[in-house]
Every structure is written in C-alpha cells, then in structure tokens.
Amino acid sequence: MMKGLTQSQPQLLQLQQEPVPSQQPAVEALNPAVQQQLNLEHVKIRATSLFKAISRILEDFDGYAGTNTTPRWQDILGQYSMVNLELFNIVDEIRKVSKAFVVHPKNVNAENSMILPVMLSSKLLPEMETDDNLKKDQLLHGLQNLPIALQIEKMKARIYTIAAACESAEKVLSETRKAYGFGARQGPTITPTLDKVQAAKIQEQEKLLRAAVNFGEGLVSRDQRQMALALPMHLADVLNVGPEMQNLVDTSGVYQKITPTQINTISAQSALLQASGVQLLARSGTNMNTPSPQQQSPQQQQQHQQQLLQPQQRPKMMSLSQHQQLLTQQQFRQSAMPGPGQLHGQPQKQQFSQAPGNHKQFQGRQLASGIGGQLGQGNLMSRNLGQTSGAANNALFNAAQTVQNTQMVPNVSATMPSQSLLPSRLQYGLSGSNPQSTHSSQLLNEKMLNMGGANQTGMLPLQQQGGSQGAFGNMQQPNAQTFQLNMVALQNNPQNHQGAFCQQRSQNQQ
C-alpha cells in the first residue's frame, strides 16, 4: 500500500506537468481560466503535505528497524491517520481539478467496478456506432466535404423545404375534406335525399340481406332440395357422391320417382341425409340389376315387393322424422353387393331383407343397422329408436346394437376395401324391410350368431315377443332351428360370401 502511494505521487506530479504541454501544443500555457479552475497550486500543496506525511512514517519505520525498538503503536496510528487526512484532502483537490476532464465515481465497490468503465464511457457501442455512422452518411450525403458552416446551412434549407411540403399537403387535405364532407362530424352541407320509394326498396333489400346472413332465412327454396347433379369440387371429396351418383341416376327409375316426393315433404334440415339417401338408393339400384346368385333372388323379389308396397306406406313414412324416412329409403336398397369384398354387409342384409312393413319394424331395423363401421349412422338410428314409441324391446335393441358393434368392428376394419362399403353398411342395416319379421327376431338371429349356438330354448321367448309385432317372413321364422339351417345352407355354398361371412362370424364367436 505504501508502495502504491509512493507511486501515485510521482504520477500526480506528472499530471500537473503533463497537461500543460500536451493539451494544446500550439499554446504554451493553459488558458488562464482553465488554470484558475484547475487550482493546480492547491493540488500541489496538498500533494506535498501528503508526501511529507508518508515520508515521516517511512523514516520512523527505518528508525525502528535500525534501533530494534518496539514501535509505539499509538504514534504510528496517529501518523497513519495524518496520512489518511492528507489523502482525503488531496482527493478533494484532484476532484476539483479533474472535473473538467474525468468523472470520479463516488461509490465504487466490487459489483460495479467491472461495469463502470463501460457505463462511463462516452464512446458508443459498436453497433450503435455503425448505425450512427450510417445515418450520418445518409444525412450528409454529398455534404461531408464542405466546411461545417456550409453543412449547417444546407441542412437548414433541407428542413425548410420539407416543412413547406408538409404544410401544403395539409392544406390540400383540408380543402378536399371540406369539399366532400369527409370526417366532418356535422356531415356535408348538402345532403342528397332519396326518394321514398327508393328508400323503401332499399330497406326491404336490406332486411332480406341481413336476415339471410344472420339467420339464414330466405336461402332455401322448394327446388333447392334437389340434389345438384355435380357437386362442387370441395364437397365432392367430402361427401363421396360424385361419380357414383352419376352412374346411378339412370338405373332405377322407380327409386328416382320416390325420392322427389319424399324430399318435398321433408323439412330443410335433412339435405345431406337425403342426398346420401339418394346416393344409396341409386347404388342399390345397380345392385338390384346385377345378376345375383340363387340366394339373392328371393331377396330381389322381396325388394320388388317392397317397391310395390312402398306407395302404400308412403303416407306413414311422411309422418316420420327425416331420419326414418331416409332409413326407409335405405331399406329398399337390398344391397346385394357384388364382390367378396363386402362380405359383412350382405349376409346380414339377406337375413334382414323382408317386404316392407310397419314403422316400428323399420325403426328396429334401423337400429340393427348401427353396426360396426357405421357407428355414426347407428347413433342416428338409436336416436330414432329413442324418439319412436311403441318399438318393443328397446333394451334388447340397444343391447343387440352394442353387441353387434363390438363384434363387428374388428371385422369391419379388417375387410373394408373401399369407401363404398360405407353406404353398404348403411344399407344392410337398414334394409331388411320385412314388415312381418320383427326387429327383435332379427336381433335374436344376430344374437344367436354371436353367441355361437346359445341355448335355443332361452331364445324362444324373445322370439315370441317379437312375433307379437307381426307375422314372420320367410327367412325369419321364429324358429331357431330353421335359422340354423339357413346358416348351414349358407355355409354349404362356398361361393356364397354369406357363408364366408358366417364363417367369420363363427370365428368371432370363438
């Protein structure tokens, strides 16, 4: 510490001397005003007194070291305190001196000792400096070579021209504003008035428009319910109608006749379902026309019967909800689906396909159709069930439906080759338009299949319950044995995909 002090003193002395020659080489002495400010004399006095105090201490220590006597600490401490005092005085003087040149931070401690140099520096950060230079270049473009006074003049001229341009723009804006009444709260002075007739027309149109946008009124007309023959691109993908639709328009004239009348009676909310119903109807038309194996022919006959019976049942169907109507349409689609790819649908359809019958039975079948991949539709149908009254064995239906769902799903997912299966699913569940067979019987048949030859005696009472709803058709005699026979017969025919289906079913059961 003492060494540091001794070193600082010669520096101080140098400080006093250096500024004099280095600051303004052209001038020999400092400006007298600066000299007065600097108060160099005082600094010199303080420095010398500090020097004396420190040298005194040094002498004392030399003496102690020489004579080997124990130093008297009070004396030494006193001398140190003198040094301290002198230090304070000189720092004070230095501060006054160097106010013009340096900044002396008051509070320096460990935390800010690193940052202080950066914070105190007047030089900009490098990025800021480059920005500054860029802006300066832009401003002084072409002017940097001139003397500073000229630069200032030119900048002033530039500012003046810009201000003038702004003022003239303001004037133009305000004039036009006045002329056209823009932005004026009182509005234009001359307000053209509309004829009353015109105003009334406009108001009417406005009502129409607002109603259409906000509430959707007036957008639906009678003929709107007809399906457009060609769906726009964005819907064609989504609704899967497209090409199939066009194929089917020609095939089954009977079905086509049916749809418009039904559609007209349906409320506006059934558009899509009707559309899909139309699709499905059309598809079933093609299926109808394809040559079918033996087992399908009786069903085709039944389908024809359904067609014939349909007009009779139309009044009933009109009163149904749209779902039901759609589903009835779908029922007529005895989807004798060609190809082995659609195994699942067909056997069920064939089992269920009957002549058209009661609503309830339709609904029942609709329930049964909620199978596997058509959970969505199945939900619709179960809703139908919920809505309709008088359908017997609701619990049974639901149970059967869930049973069917759980069992059918794996098969469905495994063997679903194309999207055309979806409508087939719709179809098979919904078809089976046997008015005489009961839904419960169908479900029972399902259940029997699913349970793999369960106790037939247990089944019979259920069948009898179902039988109460109406007569039974050919396929669904309420006799488990005959059903089993049918199953066997089906299985016997290797070509029959129903057989394959049954096989799969039996596999399911296992």
Residue 216 in the binding site for another protein (CB under 8 A): yes
Residue 388 in the binding site for another protein (CB under 8 A): no
Residue (36 or 419) nearer to another protein, CB: 419
Cβ 422 to another protein, closest distance in Å? 10
Longest dimension (CA), the chain: 143
Cβ 134 to another protein, closest distance in Å? 27
Q: Which stretch binds another protein (CB under 8 A): 53-61, 133-141, 183-191, 438-446?
A: 183-191
Residue 325 in the binding site for another protein (CB under 8 A): no
Cβ 366 to another protein, closest distance in Å? 14
Q: Which stretch binds another protein (CB under 8 A): 50-58, 74-82, 109-117, 198-206?
A: 198-206
Rg (CA), the chain: 52
Residue 268 in the binding site for another protein (CB under 8 A): yes
Q: Tokens 């759980």 appear where?
A: 406
HSE (side-chain half, CA atoms, 13 Å) at 434: 31
Residue (380 or 462) nearer to another protein, CB: 380
Collapsed DSSP state (helix, strand, coil) of residue 145: coil
Burial of 104-117, coded b for 16+ CB within 10 Å and e otherwise, reads: eeeeeeeeeeeeee
Provide CB contacts within 8 A for 392, sequence distance 6+.
Answer: 360, 438, 439, 440, 465, 466, 468, 469
Residue (248 or 490) nearer to another protein, CB: 248
Residue 173 in the binding site for another protein (CB under 8 A): no
Distance CA 427, CA 284 (A): 8
Alpha carbon separation from 284 to 20, 249, 259, 326 (Å, rounded): 113, 11, 14, 14
Member of 25, 32, 142, 183 binding another protein (CB under 8 A): 183
CB-based burial of residue 73 (10 Å sphere; 0-12 exposed, 13-18 middle, 19+ buried)? exposed
Residue (258 or 487) nearer to another protein, CB: 258
Distance CA 410, CA 423 (A): 18
Residue 270 in the binding site for another protein (CB under 8 A): yes
Residue (206 or 250) nearer to another protein, CB: 206
HSE (side-chain half, CA atoms, 13 Å) at 190: 4
Distance CA 507, CA 505 (A): 5
Contact between residue 227 and residue 274 where contact means Cβ atoms under 8 Å apart: yes
Q: Which stretch binds another protein (CB under 8 A): 59-67, 103-111, 371-379, 432-440?
A: 371-379
Member of 13, 87, 140, 235 binding another protein (CB under 8 A): 235
Q: Which stretch binds another protein (CB under 8 A): 39-47, 193-201, 424-432, 482-490?
A: 193-201
Q: Which stretch binds another protein (CB under 8 A): 37-45, 60-68, 81-89, 229-237?
A: 229-237
Amino acid at 81: S
Residue 172 in the binding site for another protein (CB under 8 A): no
Residue 196 in the binding site for another protein (CB under 8 A): no
Residue 306: alpha-carbon gap to chain centroid: 48
Tokens of 407: 């069992």
Write out the binding residues for another protein, residues 431-450 only, by CB under 8 A.
none
Give the phi and the psi of residue 358 in degrees, each rounded to 5: -70, 165
Tokens of 459: 């089944």
Q: Which stretch binds another protein (CB under 8 A): 50-58, 196-204, 311-319, 357-365?
A: 196-204
Residue 212 in the binding site for another protein (CB under 8 A): yes
Distance CA 367, CA 475 (A): 19
Provide CB contacts within 8 A for 196, sequence distance 6+.
Answer: none
Residue 182 in the binding site for another protein (CB under 8 A): yes
Cβ 479 to another protein, closest distance in Å? 37
Member of 70, 138, 191, 312 binding another protein (CB under 8 A): 191
Residue 322 in the binding site for another protein (CB under 8 A): yes
Residue 425 in the binding site for another protein (CB under 8 A): no
Residue 383 in the binding site for another protein (CB under 8 A): yes
Q: Which residues bind another protein (CB under 8 A)?
A: 180-183, 187-188, 191-194, 199, 202-203, 205-210, 212-214, 216, 218-221, 223-228, 230-235, 237-239, 268-273, 275, 322, 375-377, 379-380, 383, 386-387
